[in-house]
Amino acid sequence: MIPIKYTLSDVVEKAIKPAYALLPVSMRSREATAMLLAIGLQESAFKYRRQIKGPARGFWQFEAAGGFRGVLQHRSTERHAAALLVERGHGGMIEREQFDLLEHDDVLAAGMARLLLWTDPKALPALNRPDDAFEYYLRTWRPGAYTRGATEQRTEIRARWNRAYGEAMQYA
């Protein structure tokens, strides 16, 4: 697999804004955009739509039985996820086929990522609050490399988050 790096401007214009257009207006915000960009940078650097060593798909690195299924079944997002899948032309497919499309449909992946953020009962962190944003990311994405990682690995993941969040703030 050859990685292709997309600019954050590309991601906003070609994935996030079109996804917002398919979701309720209440889900559109600078705070959401900052989180989506920071998480995408953290998870794939917007280079990889398929996890190098693992099952995750899309720039936001969803796992089928984790975040993807969670969004499809969560009481606050199930209707929105179903509508998003229909709007993207994927409504009649089985769940596994829909999941596999995250690797090829950046708008679907961005929409599902926004919906995963929506499942958290807490409000999105205010802008320019990297610590709060990191805690939100840990709650919603539950990155195994962090939760199972040694202190050194956790430190590197946190440092990468700070860089990602700082970069994301320029486009939020």
Q: Which two tokens stand for residue 27?
A: 């889900």
Q: Which two tokens stand for residue 17?
A: 């804004």
Q: How confident is the model at residue 6 (pLDDT cuts 50, 70, 90)?
A: confident
Q: Which residue has the tokens 């195994």?
A: 144
Q: What confidence tens digit (pLDDT) does each residue in 133-164 have? A: 999 999 999 998 898 999 999 999 999 999 99
The mean pLDDT value of the chain amounts to: 95
Comparing CA positions, the residue from 97, 74, 103, 98 lying closest to residue 84 is 98
User: To the nearest whole percent, how much of the chain has pLDDT over 90?
Assistant: 92
Residue type at 124 in one-letter notation: L
pTM, entire model = 0.95
Q: Which two tokens stand for residue 112?
A: 């599902």
pLDDT for 152 equals 95
Comparing CA positions, the residue from 71, 74, 67, 75 lying closest to residue 85 is 71
The C-alpha angle 72, 142, 3, rounded to 5 degrees, equals: 85
